[in-house]
């Protein structure tokens, strides 16, 4: 974990209520896709934990959904604004378990961390298939970005207004074979993926956090391998250890 | 050269700054970030006789200038704390540590304290009779002078190290409880634990926290804590550890003026993991600014 000041480079609306923010600063403390950062915002007591979408040595890209006052405040930040950020939080996805073909499944605000993962798996020569699930066409983002890096991309919308109608699991048939899954999204989606997939997999969970770095036990969960802190021992859990 | 040292129940500390229980784990998470030997000491995660998972999540809710937690004393139990956590801590912290203990019966408290009292690393026992987040224990011992005295006596009977009783602010008269603890043999009093609080989510129209209520902490409670430390200082002759919303060197000094011999920092650690180190580093400069040369001399200075 590292604490440092980042400068907002850009902050744009990608889809209904969804923003992409590029932060300039030390990106080297991000060590794995699926990690998150914790941002201090003026006037708010707790930091805001947001998953890392992508990163480079001198930048971190995050995508966040406006769900409350903190993210509303973030949406108003302009280029040049400075933010106190804790980086390198959480375990992230283990890329070594991907096999030759990885199936990445993201739902809504769970899509972003899969982008950084897809990019790095493809760079390692792996085949990447991605299923992105949204409620409706207005909410779809990053479909083109995934395609541009060479991921075989499927989009589902619950109302059928874009891509395959239904939930992410409705695209499993179209996506075909795979060796390992990586998923991130709301818990009902993770559970559906867990039940629909036949391989090993990694699941990124969300929980209300206090500190985000393992000190307060605010986000604990029970697993088959003992109690874990979503912020420090997670957010990524492996399929075998999950207790629903 | 200003003097930042203080003395708590006969143990000399290089400075009065103590990360509060439940915000600092068993220390080693923070030792990855900085050398935690710069701290006066720290109070480790509340430990109970048996292992506890604690409450269901969500356990955290945000508030203006503070937060509510209802963790519910998650800890691996005293045996594992002694066999696993303390040896890990020994590698990164060489000072006496404050052992924070909770229980669900008088016997529980005595059992856990007796075990920890035998650990060389433990300097003080901080007995939490004020956790608002557990049912059938915790705070119920800290809301009556009789029950608090009973726990104090039971712990004192089986221990040799200084026993500090951590009191709840969720009472009508904290002074009478502090006095009862002193009469029962307590070596010190620490206060305040969190204030019982609640938030309701307007979208779900239900409490944010699964436990419904939780302990409110953070800068918002600082004035309440200062007032209670001030009141208790007037009534007892044993040292006080002041806490509640402390987040700066200025707050530490204010707490000491109210009557604290040492000062704990809680919720602030969760926002800024370096805050205790920074407070320790800032203390000399802030002391100079206010014409203070020796911290020991200002304890209770506001009276």
CATH code of B231's domain: 3.20.20.70
Given a cut of 90, whether residue B68 has pLDDT beyond it is yes
From the CA of B24, how many Å to the nearest CA of chain A?
5
pTM of this structure = 0.94
Interface mutation vs chain A, best among B23, B33, B44, B57, most A CBs within 10 Å: B57
Contact present, A215 and A195 (Cβ < 8 Å): no
| DSSP per residue, A69-110 | HHHHHHHT--TT-EEEEEEEES----GGG--SEEEEEEEGGG
Given a cut of 80, whether residue B139 has pLDDT beyond it is no
What is the structure's pLDDT at B131? Answer: 76
Q: Is B154 helix (H, G, I), strand (E, B) or coil?
A: helix
Domain residue extents for chain A: 2-89, 95-204
ipTM > 0.95? no
Report chain A residues whose CB lies below 8 A from the CB of B271. Answer: 40, 45-47, 211
Q: Return the CATH class of domain A95-204.
A: alpha beta
Known catalytic membership, residue B38: no
A235: preceding bond cis by omega (within 30 degrees)? yes
B62, part of any domain: no
From the CA of B71, how many Å to the nearest CA of chain A?
6
Domain of B91, in residue numbers: 6-57+68-197+215-298
What is the structure's pLDDT at B136? Answer: 61
- How many separate domains does chain B show? 1
Contact status of A227 with chain B (Cβ, < 8 Å): yes
What is the structure's pLDDT at B135? Answer: 66
Give the dihedral sign, CA A25/A30/A33/A38.
Answer: negative
pLDDT digits (tens, 9 = 90+) for B76-117: 999 999 999 999 999 999 999 999 999 999 999 999 999 999
DSSP E strand stretches across A16-70: 18-24, 36-40, 48-56, 59-65
Contact status of B94 with chain A (Cβ, < 8 Å): no
Q: Indicate the fold that domain A2-89 takes in CATH.
A: Elongation Factor Tu (Ef-tu); domain 3 (2.40.30)
Q: How far apart are CA A187 and CA A167, in angstroms?
A: 13
Contact status of B16 with chain A (Cβ, < 8 Å): no
| Secondary structure element (H or E) that encloses residue A160, with its range | none
Q: How confident is the model at residue B138 (pLDDT cuts 50, 70, 90)?
A: low
pLDDT digits (tens, 9 = 90+) for B276-288: 999 999 999 999 9
Catalytic residue among B9, B113, B131, B181: B131
Q: How far apart are CA A158 and CA B237, in angstroms?
A: 68
B274, part of any domain: yes
What is the residue-level pLDDT of chain A in tens, covering all 244 positions? 999 999 999 999 999 999 999 999 999 999 999 999 999 999 999 999 999 999 999 999 999 999 999 999 999 999 999 999 999 999 999 999 999 999 999 999 999 999 999 999 999 999 999 999 999 999 999 999 999 999 999 999 999 999 999 999 999 999 999 999 999 999 999 999 999 999 999 999 999 999 999 999 999 999 999 999 999 999 999 999 999 9
| Secondary structure element (H or E) that encloses residue B29, with its range | helix B28-31
The pair of structure tokens assigned to B111 is 């059992």
pLDDT digits (tens, 9 = 90+) for B235-273: 999 999 999 999 999 999 999 999 999 999 999 999 999
Of A45, A209, A215, the CB nearest to B63: A45
């Amino acid at each position: 974990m590292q604490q440092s000041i980042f400068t907002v480079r850009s902050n744009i609306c990608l889809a209904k209520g969804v923003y992409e923010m590029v932060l300039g600063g030390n990106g080297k403390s991000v060590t794995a896709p699926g990690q998150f950062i914790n941002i201090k915002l003026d006037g708010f007591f707790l930091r805001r934990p947001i998953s890392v979408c992508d990163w480079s040595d001198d930048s971190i890209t995050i995508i966040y959904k406006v769900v409350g006052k903190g993210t509303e405040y973030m949406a108003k930040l302009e280029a040049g604004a400075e933010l106190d950020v804790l980086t390198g939080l959480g375990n992230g996805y283990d890329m070594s378990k991907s096999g030759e073909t990885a199936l990445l499944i993201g739902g809504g605000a769970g899509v972003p961390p899969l982008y950084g993962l897809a990019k790095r798996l493809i760079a390692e020569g792996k085949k990447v298939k991605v299923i992105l699930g949204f409620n409706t066409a207005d909410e779809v983002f990053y479909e083109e970005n995934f395609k541009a890096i060479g991921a075989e991309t499927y989009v589902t919308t619950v109302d059928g207004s874009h891509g395959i109608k239904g939930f992410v699991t409705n695209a499993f048939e179209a996506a075909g074979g795979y060796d390992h899954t990586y998923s991130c999204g709301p818990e009902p989606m993770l559970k559906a993926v867990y039940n629909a997939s036949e391989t090993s997999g990694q699941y990124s969970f969300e929980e209300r956090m206090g500190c985000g770095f393992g000190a307060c036990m605010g986000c604990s969960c029970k697993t088959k391998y003992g109690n874990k802190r979503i912020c420090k021992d997670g957010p990524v859990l492996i399929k075998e250890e999950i207790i629903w | 050269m200003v003097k930042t040292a203080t003395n708590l129940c006969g143990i000399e500390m290089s400075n009065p700054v103590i990360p509060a229980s439940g915000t600092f784990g068993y220390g080693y998470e923070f030792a990855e970030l900085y050398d935690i030997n710069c701290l006066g000491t720290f109070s480790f995660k509340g430990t109970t006789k048996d292992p506890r998972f604690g409450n269901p999540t969500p356990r955290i809710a945000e508030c203006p200038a503070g937060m509510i937690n209802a963790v519910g004393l998650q800890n691996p139990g005293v045996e594992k704390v002694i066999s696993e956590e303390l040896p890990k801590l020994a590698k990164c912290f060489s000072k006496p540590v404050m052992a924070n203990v909770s229980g669900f019966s008088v016997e529980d408290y005595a059992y856990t304290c007796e075990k920890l009292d035998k650990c060389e690393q433990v300097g003080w026992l901080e007995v939490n009779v004020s956790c608002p987040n557990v049912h059938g224990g915790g705070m119920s011992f800290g809301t009556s002078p009789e029950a608090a005295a009973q726990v104090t006596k039971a712990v004192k009977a089986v221990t040799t190290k200084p026993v500090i009783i951590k009191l709840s602010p969720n009472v009508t008269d904290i002074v009478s409880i502090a006095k009862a603890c002193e009469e029962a043999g307590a070596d010190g009093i620490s206060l305040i634990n969190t204030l019982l609080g609640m938030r309701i989510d307007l979208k779900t129209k239900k409490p944010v926290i699964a436990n419904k209520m939780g302990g409110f902490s953070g800068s918002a409670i600082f004035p309440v804590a200062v007032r209670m430390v001030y009141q208790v200082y007037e009534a007892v002759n044993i040292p006080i550890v002041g806490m509640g919303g402390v987040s700066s060197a200025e707050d530490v000094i204010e707490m000491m003026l109210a009557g604290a011999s040492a000062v704990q920092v809680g919720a602030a650690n969760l926002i800024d993991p370096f805050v205790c180190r920074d407070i320790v580093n800032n203390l000399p400069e802030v002391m100079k600014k206010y014409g203070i040369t020796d911290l020991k001399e200002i304890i209770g200075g506001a009276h």
